[in-house]
Structures are given as structure tokens and as C-alpha cells.
């Protein structure tokens, strides 16, 4: 779970959102967000999923035998460059 929480913390920081602001959106005090991010609290899966959605991300379960395939697609075979990207002239 710590990898997920680290990723969510990075997303929060990249978006310029404070722990307090995220907490307000989740209905949780800033101190609890801090504990989650520091590993001092074991959040419910629903809380982690809500955090992800508020940060415009989604949690996805992948069968263990497909993890390396999914990682190769997302990160690229070299671990740096994804094997896909959004076409610049396409609108989302």
C-alpha cells in the first residue's frame, strides 16, 4: 500500500493541493491525511480510492501474472518511456 500512498502524495503535491485541502474534500482532518502519507495510519481501501479519484487518478486491480505486462505498457520496456501516448491533436 505504501507505493500507492506515495504516488497519491506526489499527485497531491504536483497539483498544488495541501493536506488540509485534500482532507476537506474527503471529510477528514489534515492530521489524518498526514498520518496516512507518513504510514502512521492504515486507511480503508475506500478512503484510498476516494483520494485517488479526487486527484484525478484511478485504482485498478491487475492479475498478478499480468503486472509486468501492464508495467511495460505504462512505463515502457526501458522503464522510462511509455509504449503509448496521447496524440497531441486529439481532444480528451
In tens, the pLDDT along 10-42 reads 999 999 999 999 999 999 999 999 999 999 999
Rounded Cα gap, residues 7 and 48, in angstroms: 11
Residue 33 lies in a domain: yes
What count of Cα atoms within 13 Å lies in the side-chain half-sphere of residue 21?
9
Assess if residue 67 is contained within a domain: no
CATH number, position 27: 1.10.260.40
Query: Is 77 a member of any domain?
Result: no
Rounded to a whole number, what is the largest CA-CA distance in the chain? 44
- All 3 cell numbers of residue 36? 496516512
Task: Flag whether 71 is in a domain.
Answer: no
pLDDT at 58 over 80: yes
Q: How many domains does the chain have?
A: 1
Global pTM reads 0.73
Residue 59 lies in a domain: no
Give the C-alpha separation, 8 to 57, whole Å. Answer: 8
Amino acid at each position: 500500500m505504501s507505493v500507492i500512498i506515495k504516488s497519491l502524495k506526489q499527485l497531491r503535491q504536483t497539483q498544488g493541493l495541501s493536506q488540509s485541502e485534500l482532507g476537506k474534500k474527503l471529510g477528514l482532518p489534515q492530521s489524518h491525511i498526514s498520518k496516512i502519507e507518513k504510514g502512521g495510519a492504515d486507511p480503508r481501501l475506500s478512503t484510498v480510492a476516494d483520494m485517488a479519484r479526487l486527484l484525478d487518478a484511478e485504482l485498478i486491480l491487475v492479475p498478478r501474472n499480468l503486472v509486468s505486462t501492464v508495467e511495460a505498457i505504462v512505463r515502457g520496456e526501458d522503464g522510462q518511456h511509455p509504449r503509448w501516448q496521447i496524440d497531441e491533436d486529439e481532444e480528451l
